[in-house]
A and B are shown apart, each in its own frame.
Chain A
Amino acid sequence: MWIFEYRELIKILTISDLKVKYQSSVLGFAWSLLNPLLMMLVLYLVFSNVFNANQDNFALYLLIGIVSWRFMAIGSSAAMGAIVGKPSLVNKIYIPRQVLVTSVVLSNLISSILEFLVLVPLLIILGAGISPYILLFPFIHMIYFLIVYGISLILAALYVYYRDLNQIWDVLIQIGFFLSPIVYPLSTVPPKYLDYYMLNPMTALIQMYRDVLLYHQLPAPQDVAVTIAAGLFIMVAGTLVFKKLERRFAEEI
C-alpha cells in the first residue's frame, strides 16, 4: 500500500508545506487566526442587523461557519497545485502521485485543527461554554477530511490538463460560500428550495460542527448519514478520476 510505504515522504512533505506556509509571513501562524476573526467581525457587523432576530450568539455561529469553510476553500485550492507545483517529482522519478496531494491536504487539515483549537477559548469567552459533545469533533473532522481529500484529488489531476481551473474554482468556492449556511441561518432559506439546498454536503457538515460546539447536542442522524455517504462517494470518485488522469501526468506537466 503506497500510503504506508511512503509514509516518511508524506510526513516530510507535510511538514515542509506547513513550514513554508507559516514562515513566509512575519506574523506566520497568527495570520491564519486573524484572518477568520477579522472576517467574522466584518460579517458580524454587516449581517447581525439583517438576521440576528432569531439567532443567539451570532458571532460564534458565524465563526464556526467560517472556520469550517476555510478547510474546504483553502485546502482544495492549495491541493489543486500539488501536482503541477512539483514537476520534477512527477516526470523525473517515480513516486505514487497521490503522495503529493495527500501531503498538501494533510498540512491544511493540521491548520484547520489548529484554528478550531483557538475557537475553544472563544466559545467560553463569548458565553457558549463547552460540553462533552465536543468529543465528537474528531469524528466529524475525519468525514470532512474525506470530502476535501476526494475533491482535491480531482482538482489536482484536472489542473494538470486545464490550467485555468484555479480561476473557475475560485468562483465556485465563492458561490459555495453563499450556498452554505455560513453567514445566514438555515431558517432564512425558502422552504420550497430547502430540499435542493440540503443536497450540499457542506450544509450538513457545518450544522454538525454547530451542534457539537455551539448547541451542545448530538448531530442530527440524517446529517451524519448525508456527510458519510458524500465523503465515501467523493473519495471513491476522486481516487478513480485521479487514477485515470494520472497516466499522462508526466507528458502533460
Chain B
Amino acid sequence: MSLPLAEINKGLDKLNLVKGGIGRGTNGNAIVVEGISKNFRIPKEKKLTVFEHLAGLVGRGTSSYDEFMALQDVSFAVKHGETFGVIGPNGCGKSTLLKVLAGVLYPDSGRVEINGKIAPFLELGVGFQPELSARDNVYLYGAIMGLTHKEVDQRYDEIMEFSELQRFENMKLRNFSSGMYVRLAFATAIQTNPDVILVDEVLSVGDESFQKKCSDKIDEIRKAGKTILLVSHSLATVRSLCSRCMLMNRGQVVALGETGGVLAEYERMRGAGT
C-alpha cells in the first residue's frame, strides 16, 4: 500500500516544483518553530573515557558541568515564499537556531516543523574530499545533499557552468583556490531544488562578480516563491531582502515583526550598550 502513496507524493512534488515549490504544508507555513530551548552542558573537565567516568562516580557527587542556555523558548513561523531575517549580536543563539532547523542539533524541548525540502547553507563544501576531482566532488556533495546519481547527471552541466569551472572539472580539489572551492560548493548546493533555504552569511563568497551572481541567484529563488531564512550581520542586506525579521539576544526572541521596526529595536539595543 505504501508504494502507490509514494508515487502520488512524487507526483505532488513535481506539481509543486512547477508551481514554484509553494504548498505541501496545509497551513501555509514553511517553517514553524514552537517554544524550542537548547541547553548546552559545558563540562568543567571533559570526560571522554570510560575510565574517567568511572573515576567520576567514585569522586564527589556534585554536578561537574556548567549550563549554557543557547536558546530559550524561541517561537516563530515563516510563511511559504517569505524571506525571513534573523539578526542579533554575536553569541545570541542565531547559529544554534540554524543548526536546530537544519537537524544537526536536537532541541531539548519544543517542536520544529519544516514543510518541504530544506537546504542548509550553513557552511559550504562540507564533505569535499581534496583527493578527488572536481567532478567526483560534485557527485559526492550532491549525494550529501540527498540527490541521486541521475539527478546530479541532469544538473551537472548547469553546475559547472554556474561555477565557471568547466575547464577544471578533472583537477583534484586540493589544487583549487578557496574561491573556486566555494564556487563549486555553492553551484552544487543551489541545484538541489530546495523549498526552504537556510543561509548563514555565505553570500559573501568569491570575487565581486561571483557574489553578484550568487545574490542574483538567491533573488531568483526568492521570486520563484521559495522560502529563505537568512542569518546576517549586515543590516543593509536584511533591510533590502527581508520583509519580516526576528531579533535575538542571549538565546531569547527580543523582537519579531516588520523589518523596519525590528531593525530600529536593534539600533536601540546597541545604543544602550547591552
A residues adjacent to B (C-beta < 8 A): 5-9, 11-12, 16, 86, 88-95, 161-165, 168, 247-248, 250-251
Q: Is B269 an interface residue (CB 8 A)?
A: no
A-B contact pairs, 25 of them (CB 8 A): A6-B146, A12-B143, A88-B126, A90-B104, A91-B104, A92-B104, A92-B126, A93-B102, A93-B126, A93-B127, A93-B144, A94-B102, A94-B103, A94-B104, A94-B120, A161-B48, A162-B48, A162-B50, A162-B53, A164-B49, A164-B50, A165-B50, A248-B106, A250-B99, A250-B104
Q: How far is the CA of A5 from the CA of B144 in the complex (A)?
A: 10
Contacts of A6 in B (CB 8 A): 143, 146
Shortest CB-to-CB span from B118 to chain A, Å, is 8
| Complex: chain B residue closest to A158, CB-CB | B50
Q: Are B50's CB and A88's CB within 8 A?
A: no
B120-161 Cβ-contact flags toward A at 8 Å (1 or 0)? 101100110100000000011011101111001000000000
- Give me 7 other A-B pairs in contact (C-beta within 8 A), A93-B126, A248-B106 excluded: A9-B140, A11-B143, A93-B122, A162-B53, A163-B49, A164-B48, A250-B105
B residues adjacent to A (C-beta < 8 A): 40-41, 48-51, 53, 99, 102-106, 120, 122-123, 126-127, 129, 139-140, 142-144, 146-149, 152
Q: Are A95's CB and B105's CB within 8 A?
A: no
Contacts of A164 in B (CB 8 A): 48-51
Q: How far is the CA of A129 from the CA of B120 in the complex (A)?
A: 57
Contacts of B105 in A (CB 8 A): 250-251
Shortest CB-to-CB span from A92 to chain B, Å, is 4
The 7 closest A-B pairs by CB, nearest first: A94-B103, A9-B143, A164-B49, A8-B143, A247-B106, A92-B126, A93-B126
Q: In terms of DSSP, what is the predominant structure of the interface of chain A?
A: helix
Q: From known contacts A93-B122, A162-B49, infer whether A251 and B40 are also in contact, taking CB-CB under 8 Å.
A: yes
Q: Which residue of B40, B122, B140 is within 8 Å of A12 (Cβ)?
A: B140
Q: How far is the CA of A86 from the CA of B103 in the complex (A)?
A: 17
Q: From known contacts A5-B146, A162-B53, A251-B40, infer whether A92 and B122 are also in contact, taking CB-CB under 8 Å.
A: yes
Q: From known contacts A89-B127, A93-B123, A162-B48, infer whether A8 and B103 are also in contact, taking CB-CB under 8 Å.
A: no
Q: How far is the CA of A90 from the CA of B146 in the complex (A)?
A: 15
Q: Are A88's CB and B127's CB within 8 A?
A: yes
Shortest CB-to-CB span from B117 to chain A, Å, is 11
Q: How far is the CA of A12 from the CA of B120 in the complex (A)?
A: 21
Contacts of A251 in B (CB 8 A): 40-41, 105
Q: Are A89's CB and B144's CB within 8 A?
A: yes
Shortest CB-to-CB span from B69 to chain A, Å, is 14
| Complex: chain B residue closest to A164, CB-CB | B49
Q: How far is the CA of A165 from the CA of B48 in the complex (A)?
A: 10
Q: How far is the CA of A43 from the CA of B48 in the complex (A)?
A: 37
Q: How far is the CA of A86 from the CA of B128 in the complex (A)?
A: 11
| Complex: chain B residue closest to A163, CB-CB | B48
Q: How far is the CA of A252 from the CA of B53 in the complex (A)?
A: 15
Q: Are A8's CB and B147's CB within 8 A?
A: yes
Q: How far is the CA of A9 from the CA of B103 in the complex (A)?
A: 18
Q: From known contacts A162-B53, A164-B49, infer whether A93 and B120 are also in contact, taking CB-CB under 8 Å.
A: yes
Tell me which of A86, A94, A161, A165 has the highest count of chain B C-beta atoms within 10 A of its own C-beta.
A94
Shortest CB-to-CB span from B272 to chain A, Å, is 32
Contacts of B99 in A (CB 8 A): 91, 250
Shortest CB-to-CB span from A107 to chain B, Å, is 16
Q: How far is the CA of A161 from the CA of B103 in the complex (A)?
A: 20
Q: How far is the CA of A95 from the CA of B123 in the complex (A)?
A: 14
Q: How far is the CA of A8 from the CA of B103 in the complex (A)?
A: 20
Q: Are B139's CB and A12's CB within 8 A?
A: yes
Contacts of B143 in A (CB 8 A): 6, 8-9, 11-12
Shortest CB-to-CB span from B8 to chain A, Å, is 16
